[in-house]
Amino acid sequence: MSHTFDPTVLREYDIRGIIGETLGPDDARAIGRGFGTLMRRALDEEKRQPMVAVGYDGRVSSPVLEHALVEGLTSSGCDVRAIGMGPTPMLYFAEASAEEVDGGIQITGSHNPANYNGFKLVFRGRPFFGDDIQTLGRMAAEGDWVDGSGTVEKVDILEQYVERLLVALDGIAEDRLTDMRVGWDAGNGAAGPALEALAKRLPGEHHLLFTEVDGNFPNHHPDPTVEANLEDLRALVAAKSLDFGVAFDGDGDRIGAVDGEGRVIWGDQLLMIYAEDLLGRLPNATVIADVKASRALFDTVAEHGGKPLMWKTGHSLIKSKMKETGSPLAGEMSGHVFFADAYYGYDDALYAGVRLIAAAARLGRSVTQLRGDMPDMINTPEMRFQVDESRKFAAIDEIRKRMSGSDVPGDVQVDATDGVRVTTPDGWWLLRASNTQDVLVARAESESEEGLGRLMQQIDEQLAKSGLERGDQASH
C-alpha cells in the first residue's frame, strides 16, 4: 500500500493544502503512517512504543483529519495522547512538558483561509521541517511503513497549560499588575477557550473579543500581521481606554498588538520590548531576529548589552538556530516570538501576551511609552510579487553577485544570510525568495522619505537587471 501527495502540499516548514482539493483524510493517514514509522525506527534501540501527542485547531475540517491521522499513527505502532481542540502552542506544551511524549502533531491551517488546513510537527523535541517533510513524501510513495498497534488516550491539558502561562508573572509585585487593563482578540481561532481561562486568572482588567471558536471566521480573518484585522481590537482599546491590546492568529502561535493609542506594535517592535526586559536579567544574551526586522531592533539589543543575531525567516529555522546558539529569545516580523529563558523555546502567542504584561510591569513603563520611545523609522510593508518558481532563487543569486562586485561603493554592506539585505547610508533594503510560494519578498527601511525613495529605486534597478519588476502586492 502506498500514497501520493499533491506536489503543493509538502512545504518547507509544514504541510498545508486545500481541503477536498489538495488535502484530505488519506493524506492525514499517510502522514501518521510515515511519522509513526520514523518514530518507531528512532526508538528501536529503546525497545519501547513511542507516544505522540495530537491536537487540532478550530477549522471545520480538523476533526476528520485528526481521526485519520490518529489511525495512521496507531497502525504504525505509536500510542497517541489526544489533547483535542486548542492552539498549536498547547500541543507544543503537551510534547515539551511530558517526558513520556516523543513527538507531536497539530492539525492547523494557521492564518490561511477557512478552506485550508495542514500539519505542524515536532520530532523528539526538535522542529520537523525541510528534508524531514520530503522524507514523508518518499516513504508514502514507496509504502515504506511499519505495521503495529497503538492505543489512544484522551487527555484534557488546558488548565495545566494555562497554569504554566501564568508562571511568566512570578516575582513581579502584585501592585504593578493589578492596574493593567488589556484587550484581547482571539479572532474566533483555536486560542479562544484557553484565552478565556487565562483571563480569569490574570491580575488586572481584561476585555475579550471573539473567543468562540468558529472555523468560518465570521468577524475578521485571524492574521494579526494584516493591519485591517486589528481594527476591532483598536476600537475596543479606544472605547475602554485600555493600556494595550493583543491579537492572535488562527492557531495561537503568532501575536499582534496595538498600544493604548491604537498604534500597531509590529513583530520586531515587540521583540525590542521583550529584549530590553530580558537583557536586564540576562546580560550578554544572544537575541535572534529574521532578516526582515528593523535595524532599530538590532541596535536596541546591542545598546542593552545583548548580542543581536540576524537569521533566516521561518519559525522552524529560527527554533533550530536558538538551540544551536543557546539563545533565550528570538522573533520574526510575522509575529512568531520564541522564549527559552523561562519557557520551552517555541512560539506561543498567549505566553507572549503574558510576557508583554510582565515586561511593562518590570520595566516600569506602559506599553504605550515603550512603543513611543522607539526610534521613528520609515519602512515599507512586506512587498510580495510573483516570480516563476524556476527564476526566484536564481534572480536572488544574480542580485547578490552584482551587489558584491568590486564596483559597489565601500559604504554598502551586503548580508546574504537569507536572500540579499543591503545596508547603505540611507538605511537598508531586502530581497529574498519565499520558501513556500512562487514569490519574491522585498522590504526597505530608512530614517527619511527621501532615503526610502532611493532604496526603493535600488531594488527596482536590481530587479530590472534580472528581467523582473516589482508588483503592487504588499502586506506587513
Q: Identify the bridge partners of residue 339 per DSSP, sorted by sequence position.
A: 329
Q: Does the pLDDT of residue 474 top 60, yes or no?
A: no
C-alpha cell at 440: 519574491
Per the CB < 8 A criterion, the answer to whether 172 and 34 are in contact is no
Q: Give the confidence band of 230 by pLDDT, cuts at 50, 70, 90.
A: very high
pLDDT, tens digit, for every residue of 4-14?
999 999 988 88
pLDDT, tens digit, for every residue of 272-314?
999 999 999 999 999 999 999 999 999 999 999 999 999 999 8
pLDDT at 470: 83
Per the CB < 8 A criterion, the answer to whether 52 and 36 are in contact is yes
Q: Give the confidence band of 112 by pLDDT, cuts at 50, 70, 90.
A: confident
Average pLDDT of the segment spanning 24-46: 96
Stretch among 211-220, 331-340, 375-384 having the lowest mean pLDDT: 375-384
**15-156 and 161-372 have identical folds:** yes
Per the CB < 8 A criterion, the answer to whether 51 and 127 are in contact is no
Q: Identify the bridge partners of residue 255 per DSSP, sorted by sequence position.
A: 248
Name the residue ranges covered by the structural domains of the chain: 15-156, 161-372, 378-475
Query: Which is higher by pLDDT, 4 or 111?
Result: 4
Stretch among 113-117, 210-214, 230-234, 274-278 having the lowest mean pLDDT: 113-117
In the Cβ-directed half-sphere of 5, how many Cα atoms lie within 13 Å?
27
pLDDT, tens digit, for every residue of 369-413?
999 999 989 999 889 889 988 899 999 999 999 998 888 888 899
pLDDT at 466: 94
Per the CB < 8 A criterion, the answer to whether 83 and 54 are in contact is yes
Per the CB < 8 A criterion, the answer to whether 204 and 216 are in contact is no
Q: Does the pLDDT of residue 47 top 90, yes or no?
A: no
Q: Does the pLDDT of residue 436 top 80, yes or no?
A: no
Average pLDDT of the segment spanning 118-145: 96
Choice among 61, 76, 110, 466 that is catalytic: 110
C-alpha span between 362 and 62 (Å, rounded)? 40
- 110 catalytic? Reply is yes
pLDDT at 471: 67
Q: Does the pLDDT of residue 472 top 60, yes or no?
A: no
* Fold adopted by 161-372: Alpha-D-Glucose-1,6-Bisphosphate; Chain A, domain 3 (3.40.120)
Per the CB < 8 A criterion, the answer to whether 164 and 55 are in contact is no
Q: Give the confidence band of 441 by pLDDT, cuts at 50, 70, 90.
A: very high
**Which CATH class for the 15-156 domain?**
alpha beta
pLDDT at 12: 84
Short-list 19, 28, 56, 23, CA closest to 252: 56
Transcribe 140-188 into DSSP letters.
Answer: HHHT--------EEE---HHHHHHHHHGGGTTS-GGGTTT-EEEEE-TT
Mean pLDDT score of the chain: 95
Query: Which is higher by pLDDT, 253 or 112?
Result: 253
Average pLDDT of the segment spanning 40-67: 95
pLDDT at 475: 42
- Strand intervals (E) in 316-407: 329-331, 337-339, 378-379, 382-386
CATH homologous superfamily, domain 378-475: Alpha-D-phosphohexomutase, C-terminal domain (3.30.310.50)
C-alpha span between 70 and 53 (Å, rounded)? 10
Short-list 99, 150, 106, CA closest to 125: 99
pLDDT at 106: 98
- Read off the DSSP letter of residue 223: -
- Work out the number of other CB atoms within 10 angstroms of the CB of residue 56: 28
Q: Does the pLDDT of residue 416 top 90, yes or no?
A: yes
